Amino acid sequence: MLTPLHKRLLNDYQRDFPLSPTPYQDIALELGVSEEDVIDAFVELDEQDVITRIGPVIPPNRIGVSTLAAISVPETELEAVAQIISAYPEVNHNYEREHRFNLWFVVIAADAQHLAQVLADIEQQTGYPVMSLPLMEDYFIDLSFKLDLHDD
């Protein structure tokens, strides 16, 4: 169940999160609660799987280079291959899709040479070819939304 504090945090800080050495304290001052209350509320939201992370959204290829990649893996090996891919620090995330290319992931590296090396290493470690789908044109989709702050 979302408390009024949860709702305020979700509604007011989807963007414009304070960029300061003490962001949780800044939020607490704005909302009239303690810093501990803010941190506890964010922990609760995380534990309830309402949020997955607090962090910046950096447009693709502004820092380093990245690519979307896909691999076709037999269903029986999907979990094992996903674990191999997830072990790379350059892999942002991976997910299963219902398609011949059933395992998709995002790779971010400092430069094109490092990116190519990571993809080649993933191919060698998994035994499956990787299809790289680099960004051709950037589209921004704002995924923030206003919450109904009325209590039920």
> What's the domain count of the chain?
2
Instruction: Give the confidence band of 79 by pLDDT, cuts at 50, 70, 90.
Output: very high
Question: What's the pTM value of the predicted model, to 2 decimals?
Answer: 0.61
The CATH number linked to 126 is 3.30.70.3460
Assess if residue 141 is contained within a domain. no
* Full domain range(s) for residue 72: 65-133
Assess if residue 124 is contained within a domain. yes
On whether both 22 and 78 belong to a single domain, the answer is no
d(CA 74, CA 80): 10
- What's the pLDDT tens digit per position in 25-41? 999 999 999 999 999 99
146 Cβ contact list (under 8 Å, min separation 6): 11
Starting from the edge strand earliest in sequence, which strands make up the sheet with 91-96, in order?
A: 91-96, 103-109, 65-71, 130-133
> What is the average per-residue pLDDT within 37-48?
95
Assess if residue 109 is contained within a domain. yes
Assess if residue 96 is contained within a domain. yes
d(CA 152, CA 36): 26
pLDDT at res. 61: 64
Please check whether residue 97 is in contact with residue 104, taking contact to mean a CB–CB distance below 8 angstroms: yes
On whether both 129 and 69 belong to a single domain, the answer is yes
